[in-house]
Amino acid sequence: MGKTNEGAFGLARRIGDQHLASIRQLVDGNHVRADEIQESYFRHCDCAITIDVTWRFVARYSEQTIAGDASVSGAHYGNSRNNFLAEFNLRKHQASHNLELRQSFQENVLSSNLSLSWSHEEKLAWDFGQHSYCHTCGNCSGHGDINCWSCHGSGKKTCYHCHGNGWTWQTRTRTSGSGQVIYDQYQQDCNVCFRACKLNCNQCGATGKQRCNSCSGHGFFTDIIHTKAVAIPSINYRVNASFLAQELADYMSEMGNNYAAQYFDFSLHQNYNNNHGSWVAQYVCPTTLVEQNFSLRQKKYLAAAVGSRVVPFVRPHLFDEIFKEELHDLHAIYGKSKEAGINKDQALHFFKTYCGQPVLDRALQSVAKLSASDRKTPGGSVLNACKGYISQSAASDLGKCMADLLDRVSPAYSKWSWILIMLLPLVYVTLSIENAAEFSRGGFWEGTATILGNFIVGMILLLFVSPFAWLFSAIHSAYERQSVPAPYRQRPRNWEPFSKVVGLYLLATIFLVPYGLGARYDFTPRWEGKIKSDIERQVGKQVYNLIESSPWLKSQIPNYWWVALATSRPSLSNTPPTSDSGECKKAWQTFSQLPAGEKKEKARKFFEIEYGILNFHANCLGSALQRKCDVIKQVETMPTSAARDRLKALLERENFKPPFFDKSMCR
């Protein structure tokens, strides 16, 4: 007996020493030394872990109905539904209560060393196979065809020409002796049915019948049921120990059977059928449980481990105390608001600090390799690096900080690249939505179609520009990631900001469409497309300067488009050029030099359409007064209200005062 007790104590002491050594190794270098952990109390006891796997047997079945004959050989019950259902009920009963059907499944469990590891999921115990029966189609009553819906089963249809009369009225003219024209009506045999009054039905070919679509012409169906007996496990953990029994049972239940089979030497102890018709397989593992108290920085901690593989199941939150200063700094930053973040200097400070702590260094490298979806919960990487010796809240705070600082020092994408490239297109397309709502005409559906069309065009424009933002983001972020060692470089996520761009576009659309509709009915201030026009004009100037500096590009642009670019007025701009505009005069010179013919005509039409049907020569070379007179004259001759509305905005920008059609200023 003495040797047995000495051997049990030696095993427990070995478990305790290894457990304490693993804790010391984990915390060493993280603001503390390994020798600062000092054991103050140790006790052990024999323990037995029992896992009861209760297998409950039930029937699983699937049904299908097939048109025609699909009878199951050896298990077909003809047209007898009662016999078919009786067989089904028998199989369900046998699946739950027949002990003989379970034997093959039970033998597999008893003979397999891996039965505990796969006892967490449903298993097949017996396959009864399929059985079937046939029943008549209710739609066609078993005939396979139904009366034709067109002729109602007669095979004939009333003649469409004479409507079943056999003749039609005809009109003829004759001239009387006095020269008067007389119209006479007379009956004439129908030249379609030839007095038969009926025509053959072309839907059924004059048979009066059509194939039944329900049963595809078979006249009956075959119902098939496939029945299986499956075993569903339920698991119960029990621990017999002098102390910490419930804590160990809860830990085992949380980790599951796969974990238990991997770290403990369970053996099948017994099996039996209980009173509820289920079968119980009981696994038992005798082992040793160790509890230890130790101190660190004048604080006491309790830890416990079990088994020869030293499985810790009571883990004190050591790192909450060890990283107290780091957590205090994080609370000062993130405690202000939920949306608070860290700046670049703070990120560099935390990065250097965390890299100097082995546990945080491993966690930081793990967070850097997380996918976009896993980055939502970076605290898991900290929890794993600390091997559970940290609270969930502390791990979450540290993980959030690591994700934020990595976005600063090792960015997965370039935020500024997306802003610089997508801001102008985003503003332009959102203003186009407002402009479409403000100037929409017609009824509800026409206005909705106009706004929706502009929204789709805007989305296409954003999709077209986004690859350039992605490219610049990829180049810029890859360059910035080179400043940190490879283990800390995040996975590129250069498409991630695009979802935010789309979200902003949708949000702006939701706000600006009601605003534009309100402006249309003068409930809100009208924008008149001014901001949109300014953007177009500025973009046009930049494009013009770019092409002007490149003779090759200039040679590739059609002349009538070059005239528009020369005025710094891109397509769809509604603001007429001022008379003292140097670009306007240059455009006129370019226009004057065009050879007569198709190109010059296209250029003239371009200016007439895009500049509100204004006289181009008067706009560019005439005096301001003459230009206003020309505008008034052309407004008077506008054929449609839409054209007048379009020029109304132009006149307001030119400081025209109502009434717009007063010619006194032109006399």
Band the pLDDT of 551: cuts 50, 70, 90: confident
Token pair 């009662």 in the structure block, residue: 82
Q: Which amino acid is at 60?
A: R
The listed range with the strongest mean pLDDT (416-420, 531-535, 589-593) is 416-420
133-142, pLDDT tens digit by residue? 999 999 898 8
Answer whether 66's CB lies under 8 Å from 221's CB: yes
Question: What span, in angstroms and rounded, lies between the C-alpha atoms of 420 and 441?
Answer: 35
Four-residue CA torsion sign, 470, 473, 479, 481:
negative
Q: What is the pLDDT of residue 435?
A: 82
In terms of pLDDT, which residue wins out, 156 or 561? 156
Give alpha helix (H) positions in 611-640: 616-621, 624-636
Mean pLDDT to the nearest integer, 382-397: 93
Q: What is the pLDDT of residue 120?
A: 83
In terms of pLDDT, which residue wins out, 375 or 597? 375
In terms of pLDDT, which residue wins out, 603 or 186? 186
Answer whether 399's CB lies under 8 Å from 380's CB: yes
Q: Which helix (H) or strand (E) holds 501?
A: helix 496-520
Q: Which residues contact 610 (CB under 8 A, 6 or more apart)?
A: 564, 569, 571, 572, 573
Q: Which residues contact 649 (CB under 8 A, 6 or more apart)?
A: 528, 529, 574
Q: What is the pLDDT of residue 218?
A: 92
Q: What is the pLDDT of residue 90?
A: 95
Q: What is the pLDDT of residue 316?
A: 94
Rounded percentage of the chain residues whose pLDDT exceeds 70: 78
Q: What is the pLDDT of residue 593?
A: 57
Q: What is the pLDDT of residue 631?
A: 53
Residue 340 predicted with pLDDT over 80: no
Lowest mean pLDDT of 105-114, 224-233, 612-621, name the range.
612-621
Q: What is the pLDDT of residue 94?
A: 93
Mean pLDDT to the nearest integer, 159-170: 88
In terms of pLDDT, which residue wins out, 190 or 524? 190
| Residue 257, number of CB atoms within 10 A of its CB | 23
289-336, pLDDT tens digit by residue? 999 999 998 899 999 999 999 999 999 999 999 999 888 888 888 766
Say what the pTM is.
0.64
Q: Which residues contact 656 (CB under 8 A, 6 or more apart)?
A: 628, 631
Residue 486 predicted with pLDDT over 50: yes
Question: What span, in angstroms and rounded, lies between the C-alpha atoms of 666 and 162?
Answer: 73
Closest by CA to 264, choosing from 314, 312, 308, 234, is 308
What is the gyration radius of the CA atoms in the chain, in angstroms?
A: 44
Question: What span, in angstroms and rounded, lies between the C-alpha atoms of 473 and 497?
Answer: 10
Residue 242 predicted with pLDDT over 60: yes
Band the pLDDT of 175: cuts 50, 70, 90: confident
User: What average pLDDT does the structure give for the chain?
Assistant: 81
Q: Which amino acid is at 209?
A: K
Answer whether 316's CB lies under 8 Å from 90's CB: no
Question: What span, in angstroms and rounded, lies between the C-alpha atoms of 282 and 119?
Answer: 11
Give alpha helix (H) positions in 530-623: 530-548, 551-556, 559-566, 582-592, 598-610, 616-621
Band the pLDDT of 429: cuts 50, 70, 90: confident
Band the pLDDT of 632: cuts 50, 70, 90: low
User: What separation in angstroms does the CA of 153 have from each of 134, 199, 200, 209, 212?
Assistant: 28, 13, 11, 6, 13
Mean pLDDT to the nearest integer, 503-529: 83
Q: What is the pLDDT of residue 118?
A: 83
Residue 663 burial class via C-beta count within 10 angstroms: exposed 0-12, middle 13-18, buried 19 and up: exposed
Mean pLDDT to the nearest integer, 366-377: 88
